[in-house]
Amino acid sequence: MELKKELEALKGDYEKKFEEINNLQELQKLKAELLGKKGKITQVLKNLKNVPPEERKEIGKLANQIKQFFEDLIKAKEQSIKDKLLEEELKKSQIDITLPPFWIEAGAPHVVKETLKEITDIFVTMGFSVAEGPEVEREEYNFDMLNIPKDHPARDMQDTFFINKEGYVLRTHTSPVQIRTMLTKKPPIAIVAPGRVYRKDADPTHSPMFHQIEGLFVDENVTFKDLKGILKKFLETVFGENISIRLRPSYFPFTEPSVEVDIGCTVCGGEGCRVCKSTGWLEILGAGMVDPNVFEAVGIDTEKYTGFAFGLGIERIAMLKYRIPDIRLLFTNDLRFNTQFKGI
């Protein structure tokens, strides 16, 4: 009956030790010492095979009872320590309900970010995917492969931020993303490329950094009618189905034919005002059929494929939609301005 005496002594000794425990680290250490793989009770249970058969049942039952006793004791002790720690923490961070509350005014999504998201979502629902590219771009992609010759005014130092003499610029449009896509993917292609672009402008209607989203669709038998239908659907979604739309012949190096797209003035309803310069129309975006020279530069068969491209400024859309008079308001971070657009 030596094991029985050993178990009873063990229970008395460790019960006192558990009473002195006051932190979780000490509790875990004592638990391992008693119930671990090499713990004292575990060793007793392993030695049962050496006990005479007539005593084995009684001692085994006692060992399991003591084991259960300590498991319950450890669980209760652990909860007690955690409750005490929580109580101490609550005392430290106790809130005085007699003090006046701190008023924290909720912010609002930035109108440019929300407008960009809205426009992107519209084209995604039409089946376009989103493509991105670097803001520091090679001249080759920003100009050459877009059919913009060396003597084109767009390359003038007054318009472009040149990074170095190695042929890198801050991209002046997101069209290079179209080039990168066509170089790595075969038609059919349907992408929109949103992002920041940079030009040397700074006045009430222009900023040296602004946001664009450009679209590209390339496949067999793509026509100008497809372009017109896409743009009509987009503009009606943004400005309402009653918006007036017109297309004017224009010129862009990378599209032929090219058009400027106007909408009826959102301020005066087409009657003529200061914003539309009394014309009743506002220029909204540029578009056209992709020039065959661009397709040849990226290795797309011009006999088999046609396509269209379009581009618009996000800030301009936001200004027209929400009647914002000065583009610089979009970059002041004035909460009085930003909070006007909560819930847009």
Q: Integer distance in angstroms from the first to the last C-alpha of the chain?
A: 82
Residue 197 has pLDDT above 70, yes or no: yes
Distance CA 85, CA 105 (A): 34
DSSP 234-291: HHHHHH-TT--EEEEEEEETTEEEEEEEEEE-TTTTTS--TTTTTSSEEEEEEEEEEP
- 31-88 residue pLDDT tens: 887 777 777 777 777 766 676 777 667 777 777 787 788 788 888 888 888 888 888 8
The verdict on domain 111-341 having CATH code 3.30.470.30 is no
Collapsing DSSP to helix, strand or coil, 340 comes out as helix
* Local confidence band at 157 (pLDDT 50, 70, 90 cut-offs): low
* Local confidence band at 343 (pLDDT 50, 70, 90 cut-offs): low
Peptide bond into 257 cis (omega under 30): yes
Residues facing residue 195 across a β-bridge:
212
